[in-house]
Chains A and B, each alone.
Chain A
Amino acid sequence: MTLLTEKRTPRARNETRKIRGKVHLREHLMGWLFVGPFGVVFLAFLIAPLAYALYLSLFQKKLIGGTSFVLFDNYVKAFTDPSFLSGAWFVIRFSLVAIPLQIVIALTMALILDAVTNLFARFSRLMIFLPYAIPTVIGAVMWGFLYSKGFGPLTDIFGLFGASAPDFLSSNLIFYGLLNIVTWQWAGYYMIILYAALQGVDPTLYEAARMDGAGRWQIALRIKIPLIAPALILILVFSLIGTLQFFNEPQILRYLAAGTIGADFTPNMYAYQQAFSLANFNYGSAISFALGGVVFICVYAFLFFTRKRRSFL
C-alpha cells in the first residue's frame, strides 16, 4: 500500500497542481474582471489627472516668454504667497471651530434619537438628514437669500424686536455665516453615521449596565460613546478633509458678496481662480498639490494621535 501511494502521489500532486493552476488562473481572471471597471475609472479619473496636474505644476507659463520647466518653484512660491497662506489659515481656523461644532451636534442628535423611539423621532431623523439631500450649491444659494438684508427673513425677525439684522455676508460675520451653512448641511449626515453605529451596539450591554445601576447619562457617556468611537473618528476625518477643501459655499456666495469673499478666500478657490480665470494652470496645479500636502499632514497627524482607535482603517 505504502509503495503504491508513494508512486501515485506525485502524479496526483501534479494533476492537482494543474487543476489548481487552472482554478487560480480563472480566479485571477474573475478577480481582475470584477476589479477592472473600477480600476479603469480609478486610473482614468483619479490617477491620470493627478499625474497630469503634478506634471503641470512643475512648469511655469508666462504671458511673455512662454512655458519653461521650473521644478519646484511654484511650490516655493505657494508657500510664500500671502493669498495661499491666508486662505490656508482661514480653512484651518474654520476647521477648528466647524468640526467640533458639527460633531457635538451630530452626536447629541444621534444619542437622543437612539434613546427615543417613537414616530416623532423617526420624523426628526429624516428632517435632520434632509439638508444633506439638498445639493451644496443650492443650499448655499438658499442661505445667501436668507441672509439677504433686502428681502431675507432676518430683517423682519429682528425688526420685530426693534433691532437691525446682522449681515452674515459682511466681512465681520462671514465666518459665522459659512459656519452655519456648513453645519446645517453636514451635521445631519454625520448624525446618520453615528446613529447607524449606535444601532450596531449590542443592546444586552445596556441591560447589563442598567443592572449595575447605570443611568441614562452614564450609559450614553461610558458605553455608547466609547463603543462608537471608530465612527466618530471616521466622521472627524471626513469633515477634516472636507473643510480643508472648502470650495462650493464660498464660491457660490461670492456672487452675492464679492467684496467679502475674494477670489483667494480658500486655497481651493485660489487654485480655481489661477487655473480658470487667469489661465495659470501650472500655478493652480501647484496650489492644489500644496493643499493636498496640507490635508495629508493634517489627517496623518490626527490619525497618529488617535491611533488606538483607528480600527476602521
Chain B
Amino acid sequence: MKRRRILATVAMLAAGSALVACSSDEGGSDASNCTNTITKQNLPVVTMWGWYPNTQLVVDNFNKQNDEVQVCWTNVGQGSDEYDKFQTAISAGTGAPDVIMVEMDRIPTFQIQGALVDIRKYGFDAVKANYGEGAWKDVSVGDAIYGVPVDGGPVGMIYRKDIFDKYAITPPKTWAEYEQAAQKVKDAGGPLFGDLGANVPALTMALQIQKGATPFTYDPAQPKSIGVKLNDQASKDVLDYWGGLARKGLVGTQDQFTPEYISGVINGNYATYISAAWAPGYLTGAGVGKGQDTGKFAVAPLPQWDPSNPVQVNWGGSAFSVTKQAKKPELAAKVAYGLYADNESLTDGWTNQIIFPLNLTALNDPKFVDLKVAFFNGQQANKEVYVPAANAYKGVAYSPFGQYYLDAMTKQVSEIIKGSVSGSQAADRLQEDVAKYAKEQGFTVQ
C-alpha cells in the first residue's frame, strides 16, 4: 500500500538529488546510463530510448560506422511505459532523450504538445528516396516531418499448422469462415481459436478500420477541430463479432504480451494469433517457436469481411523522432536518420522477423521478399502475406489524444469480456467517453 511507497519515494528522491549533485548538468542527457558501451570516447553523445528486440546491435552498428556522434541507448520500457516517462519528461521540461522511438499513432499526441522537432531541414532530402510516400505520410503533420520511419505492422493471421492439420482446417479467408472454423475446433474438443485481449486496443482499432470504420478525422491545418466516430456500424459490428466469439467460448480473453498469454501460445492453447509482422520477433524473444513448438507456426492473410474487396490494416509500426529537449537537434536528427538504416541492422531486423522494414532498400530487396522465414518453418511469409498487405495499406488519421482513446478502448473491451455490455453498447459508451474528453481538451468535436 502507500506507506512503504512513500518511504521508497523519499529514498529515491534523496538518491536522485545526490545523483543530480554529482553529474554535470547536461539537461537530461546523462551519458553514464547507457545500456550500450560507447567505445569512441570524446565524441558528442546523443541519448536514445527504444525497445526493439535488437536495438543493441543497431546501436553498436551505428556507433561503429560513425565518427561524428555516438548513441547512448536506454530501454525505458515497451509501449506505454516509455510514453508515460516521455510524457512526464515533457511536462517537467527536462529528462527526455534526444531521440526517441515512437509508434506512428503516437506522433500526433506528442507533436500537438510541441515535444517533437521538425527534422525536415536536417537532411530530409538526402534520405527522402529511402522510404515510400505512405511511410513519410505517417510521420508527417502537414509539411513537417516528425520522425524517420523504421517499421510497419501489416497484420496477418499467424496460426498453428499442427492444430489446423489435426482438425482438418484450412486458413479461413473471411471472418465468417474464421468463426465456423473456431466452432469446428471447439466442437471437436480443440483449443481456443484466438484471443480477444483487452490490452491491445490498437489492434482492435485496426480490425474496426478493416471493416470500414474511420475513428478519427483530423486535419493538422485545423488543429482545434476533430471528427470522432467510434460507434458507427462498422465499429459496432467488429466489437459484436469478437464479443460473440468470446461469449461462445471460441476465443480466449487473456491479456496479450503477458507471461500467461505467451505460455498459452507456446502450449498451443490458441490456434490463431491475429497480429502484425513484427510479432514473431517478440514471440521468439519470449521463447515461442523454440523447443517443442519449433516449426509449428505459419501465417495467412488476414481474414476479410468482403473477400471481393479486401482491406489491409496496420498495427504498430514505429519511427525515430527528435525531441524538443535535444540540445543539438541537428546531431540528433543525424542519429534518427542513421539508426536502423544501415544494411546490417536492417538485414538482422527482417531475417529475424523483428521489424517489417519501411526502408525501400530492404523492402525492395528480393532477398527480403523471398525470405524463407525460420519462425514460419521456411514459409515465404513476406511474399505471401506481409508485403502485399503492406502495399495495400491505405494509412489512417490518428488522434492527438491517443493514450486516452486507447485506455478508454481497453476499458470497454474489458467490459465486453466481463459480459456486462454488448459490443454495440461498448462502442456507444466509447464514443460518448472519448467525445467528452475531446471537448474537455478544447477540441470542437464533429
Contacts and interface: CB of A to CB of B under 8 A. Distances in A.
6 contacts: A62-B442, A136-B5, A186-B1, A243-B1, A259-B253, A259-B255
A277 interface: yes
Interface stretch (B152-160, B233-241, B360-368, B396-404): B396-404
A264 B98 CA distance: 32
A255 B259 CA distance: 10
A242 B3 contact: yes
A148 B2 contact: no
A245 B259 contact: no
A171 interface: yes
B20 interface: no
A76 to B, nearest CB: 13
A151 B260 CA distance: 8
Interface residues of B, number: 45
B1 A247 contact: yes
B259 A256 contact: yes
Contacts, number: 109
- The interface centre, meaning the residue of B80, B84, B112, B417 with most chain A CB atoms within 10 A of its CB, is B84
A263 interface: yes
B223 interface: yes
Interface string B1-21: 111110010100100000000
Given A262-B414, A263-B410, A276-B87, 7 more contacts: A62-B442, A150-B263, A242-B2, A257-B255, A259-B413, A278-B87, A278-B404
Contacts of A258: 198-199, 255, 410, 414
B441 A64 contact: yes
B interface, over-half SS: helix
Given A149-B260, A242-B1, A259 B197 contact: yes
A252 B1 CA distance: 11
Interface of A: 45, 62-65, 135-136, 145, 148-151, 171, 182, 186, 238, 241-243, 245-249, 255-260, 262-264, 268, 273, 276-279, 281
B333 interface: no
A279 B113 contact: yes
List 3 A-B pairs, minimum CB-CB distance, nearest first.
Answer: A259-B198, A64-B442, A242-B1
A268 B263 CA distance: 32
Contacts of B197: 259
Given A258-B199, A258-B410, A260-B414, A136 B260 contact: no
Contacts of B83: 277
A136 B1 contact: yes
Given A63-B113, A64-B442, A277 B80 contact: yes
Given A62-B440, A276-B88, A277-B83, A247 B5 contact: yes
B5 A145 contact: no
Q: From A63, A149, A277, A281, name the one whose CB has the most chain B CB atoms within 10 angstroms.
A: A63
Q: Which of A62, A148, A150, A182 has the most CB of B within 10 A?
A: A150
Contact of B263 (A151, A171, A243, A278): A151
A279 B90 contact: yes
A245 B2 contact: yes
Interface in B173-191: none
B86 to A, nearest CB: 10
A258 B407 CA distance: 10
Given A64-B224, A246-B1, A277-B83, A262 B401 contact: no
B407 A263 contact: yes
Contacts of A145: 259
B442 A65 contact: yes
B298 to A, nearest CB: 23
Specify which of A150, A238, A259, A277 lies most central, judged by the most chain B CB atoms within 10 Å of its CB: A259
B269 to A, nearest CB: 8
A276 B80 CA distance: 10
A65 B80 CA distance: 25
A205 to B, nearest CB: 33
Contacts of B442: 62-65
Nearest to B440: A62
Interface in B197-223: 197-199, 223
B87 A277 contact: yes
Interface in B376-411: 400-401, 403-404, 407, 410-411
A248 B1 contact: yes
Given A149-B260, A182-B1, A64 B223 contact: yes
Contacts of A255: 258
A262 B410 contact: yes
Contacts of A136: 1, 4-5
Contacts of B255: 256-259
Give the one of B4, B253, B260, B440 with max A CB within 10 A: B260
B267 interface: yes
Interface in B416-440: 417-418, 440
B91 interface: yes
Contacts of B441: 62-64
A241 B2 CA distance: 8
Contacts of B413: 259
B31 to A, nearest CB: 25
A227 B401 CA distance: 57
Contact of B403 (A171, A242, A278): A278
Contacts of B404: 278
B282 interface: no
Nearest to B400: A63
B13 A45 contact: yes
Contacts of B267: 150
Contacts of B131: none
Contacts of A260: 414
B91 A247 contact: no
B80 to A, nearest CB: 6
